[in-house]
Chain A
Amino acid sequence: MTTFFINRISQPRQYIISIVLVLIISLVCYAFTSYIGYRVAALVLLLTVSVIAISFDILPVLVTAALSACIWDFFFIPPRFNFHVDTTEDAILLIMYFLIAMINAVLTHKIRQVEKASRKKEEKANAIKLYNTLLNSLSHELRTPIATIIGATDNLQTNNKNLTPDNRNQLVKEISKASFRLNQQVENLLNMSRLESGFVKPKKDWCDITEVIYGTVEKVEENKASHKITININHNIPLFKLDKVMLEQIIYNLLINACLYTAAGSKINISAMCYADVLQIVIEDNGKGFPEEELNHVFDKFYRLKNTKTNGTGLGLSIVKGFTEALGGRVYLQNISTGGSKFTIEIPATTASLKMEK
């Protein structure tokens, strides 16, 4: 359905614009009455009211309709310059003019109301769709580990006799993995709600970037031993004044993401450098990269790649974006021509040299 520009112009302005318009059109018609006759002038005025009705509120339109009827009566219907109407024909014409103008105004108003309602409905449907997507992925992401934990503990409690020590070890391992996953998801949700609440205030302090990166890589490798992460940091890199915990979360999410979405054994490289007081961190992998048409959406909240088989809530990268922006920086993603993807983080920050007095 076409949308008209409603409510963009304030009501007092609508009155002024429509009255002025009617006056100008009347003046033009008046100048040409001898050529077009006063009945055609009525049609021109009626058209003017209809045009106004398309975009303005009902009240200004009704006022315009009444005004134009009066003008037509006073200046056009003979005898001119009074409200007297001589012939029955003209009287009927005047009444009809007035009625058509009014009906016009009311009808357009009604159409617009219907349109508004349907748009609201559409918006609501979209919101529900997003909510459902979120709920589905969330309940799946939270329920799977919970189901694992409940199932495994049940098994250990009621079926203990039939389990071999090896079985038992495996079940305990699954419980441990599931709890880790649950913890990870809760962490993401908490970070997301922190970002949503607008309550994220970076706590800036001097950061040794080398320490942050090695520490975070170690944490990732504890959980994902399947990937080899190489580190490239210029040894002259200065100290940066940043929120260390947020920076760690950004790097952690990007690295975990790279581990989750590339095959075991894939190579991941993280490098850091400084130019003109901007910290640049690049994380590259040699996986498949991202589908070109989805590159722009990966940072959207709850967005999951269309053909993905990996589980997730679609929160990890939106947290990366949220935290990076909270630090005044930006993040972008490119595909590498030789395959794989490349995330770049750029954060401007105050720096201090690592070289100090002895």
Chain B
Amino acid sequence: MNKAEILIIDDEVQIRKLLEITLQSHNYSVTEAASAKDGIIMAANHPPDLVLLDLGLPDKDGQVVLHELRQWYTNPIIILSVQNSEEVIVKALDNGANDYLSKPFRTGELLARIRSALRSSVMEDAEPIINGEDLQIDLYSRTVKKKNELVKLTTTEYALLALFAKNEGKVLTHQYLLRAVWGPGFINQSQYLRVFIAQIRKKIEDDPNRPEYLITESGVGYRFVSKQ
């Protein structure tokens, strides 16, 4: 199998070095750009399988870079941002970023995000069956089983859970979820989302207060992970 190519666009030498070593040791091939201008040129000349984009570049606003890349670049883009910038993250996700990492981040987290982003871009139509440790979601037969027992879900609960299952490993913003499940008129009605997330957790989690499948991304949204 060919090594997946990752382009790092970050102006900090230290971060680039750290990412390079981490990614190369996990069998990725790495190219680097220190500015938005170089990054866009490199991505255009030789489109990588994934872009790691720092939002705080000196020569151009990260959101603009993201927007320009998304005009033609379809592979995953993971953004790197600093802590306490949930608004910026949400905006970037709405602008077409696939995922995000807040600096400082753990290596394990970085690799998990990259794996998940690459997987979903390879399999355009996601696997119709999610096989978690004790949770199965079958999108064909529209059934959900927890510990081999059928879980009864309302229509909305199922729609929400199915959306998560199709985007396994990917962070979905509050607004995206509200628009997709309830409709564009509901993007400010986040109380629905809170209630339904709590209800779904009661049905699929061992301990709804310590969720292992439906993970909260504070200030941004939720992420579904299938623990295997």
List the interface of chain A (C-beta within 8 A of B). Answer: 179, 183, 187, 190-191, 203, 205-208, 210-211, 214-215, 218, 231, 239, 244-245, 248, 352, 354, 356, 358
- A245-B86, A356-B195 as given contacts; A214 in contact with B210, CB under 8 Å: yes
- Interface positions of B from 149 to 178, Cβ below 8 Å from A: 154, 174
CB pair B104–A215 under 8 Å, yes or no, is no
Give 6 closest A-B pairs by Cβ, nearest first.
Answer: A206-B191, A214-B209, A208-B194, A245-B219, A206-B190, A352-B191
CA distance A245 to B219 in the complex (A): 6
Q: Which of B192, B216, B218 contacts A356 (CB 8 A)?
A: B192
Chain A residue nearest in CB terms to B157: A358
Chain A's nearest CB lies how many Å from the CB of B198?
6
Main secondary structure of the interface of A (DSSP, over half): helix
B226 CB, min distance to chain A CBs, angstroms: 20
Question: Cβ of B195 and Cβ of A210 under 8 Å apart?
Answer: no
Known: A187-B83, A218-B210. A244 touches B191 (CB 8 A): no
B109 contacts across to A, CB distance below 8 A: none
Q: Which residue of A lies closest to B215 (CB)?
A: A215
Residues of chain A within 8 A of B192, CB atoms compared: 356
Write the chain A residue with the least CB distance to B208. A210
Contact A245 B195 (CB under 8 A): no
A354→B192 CA distance, assembly (Å): 9
**Taking A206-B191, A214-B209 as contacts, is the C-beta distance between A244 and B219 under 8 angstroms?**
yes
Given A187-B83, A203-B87, A210-B209, A215-B216 contact (CB < 8 Å): yes
Q: Is the CB of A207 within 8 A of B104?
A: no
Determine the distance from Cα of A191 to Cα of B83 in the docked complex, in whole angstroms: 11
Could you tell me which residues of chain B, from 45 to 99, have a CB within 8 Å of some CB in chain A?
83-84, 86-87
Shortest CB–CB separation between residue B78 and chain A, in angstroms?
Answer: 21
Q: How far is the CA of A358 from the CA of B152 in the complex (A)?
A: 12
Collect the chain B residues with CB atoms within 8 Å of residue A207's CB.
194
The contact of B218 among A244, A354, A358, by CB within 8 Å, is A244
Please indicate which of the listed interface residues A179, A187, A358 has the most CB atoms of chain B within 10 Å of its own CB.
A358
Q: Is the CB of B195 within 8 A of A358?
A: no
Q: Can you list 5 A-B contacts (CB < 8 A)?
A: A190-B84, A205-B190, A208-B198, A215-B218, A248-B218
**Residue of A179, A191, A205, A231 with highest tally of chain B CB at under 10 A:** A205
User: Is A211 touching B195 in the complex (CB atoms < 8 A)?
Assistant: no
Asked if residues B104 and A239 are in contact (CB atoms below 8 Å), the reply is: no
Asked whether A245 and B84 contact (CB < 8 A) given A211-B216, A214-B209, the answer is yes
Interface size class of B (residues with CB under 8 A): 20 to 34
B residues less than 8 Å from A183 (CB atoms): 104
Kindly supply a per-residue 1/0 record for chain B positions 180-222, scoring 1 wherever the CB is within 8 Å of any chain A CB and 0 otherwise. Answer: 0000000000111111111000000000011000001011000
Contact A206 B194 (CB under 8 A): yes
| Cα–Cα distance between A356 and B192 once the two chains are bound (Å) | 8
- What chain A residues lie within 8 Å of B191 (beta carbons)? 206, 239, 352
CB contact between A239 and one of B87, B154, B194 (< 8 Å): that residue: B194
Identity of the chain B residue whose Cβ is nearest the Cβ of A210 in the assembled complex: B209
Identity of the chain B residue whose Cβ is nearest the Cβ of A182 in the assembled complex: B104
The CB with the most chain A CB atoms within 10 A, among B154, B190, B195, is that of: B195
A231: chain B residues at CB < 8 Å are: 209
Nearest-CB distance from A218 to chain B (Å)?
A: 7
A203 to B219, CA, bound (A): 9
A228 CB → nearest B CB, Å: 15
Q: How far is the CB of B216 from chain A (nearest CB, A)?
A: 6
Closest to B198 in A: A208
User: How far, in whole Å, are A207 and B191 apart by their CA atoms in the complex?
Assistant: 8
Interface string of B6-27 (1 = CB under 8 A from A): 0000000000000000000000
Chain B residues with CB below 8 A from A244, complex form: 218-219
Cβ of A187: which chain B residues have Cβ within 8 Å of it?
A: 83
**CB-nearest residue of chain A relative to B199?**
A356
Residues of chain B with a CB closer than 8 A to A205's CB: 174, 190
Quote the shortest CB–CB distance from B145 to chain A (angstroms): 21
Residue of B nearest to A218 (CB): B210
Q: List residues of chain B with CB within 8 A of the CB of A203.
A: 86-87, 219
Contact B218 A245 (CB under 8 A): yes
CA distance A211 to B194 in the complex (A): 9
Q: How far is the CB of B102 from chain A (nearest CB, A)?
A: 11
Taken together as a complex, chains A and B put the C-alpha atoms of A323 and B47 apart, in Å, by 45
Nearest Cβ on chain B to A214's Cβ, whole angstroms: 4
Partner of A358, one of B154, B209, B219: B154
Q: Smallest CB–CB gap between B86 and chain A, Å? A: 6
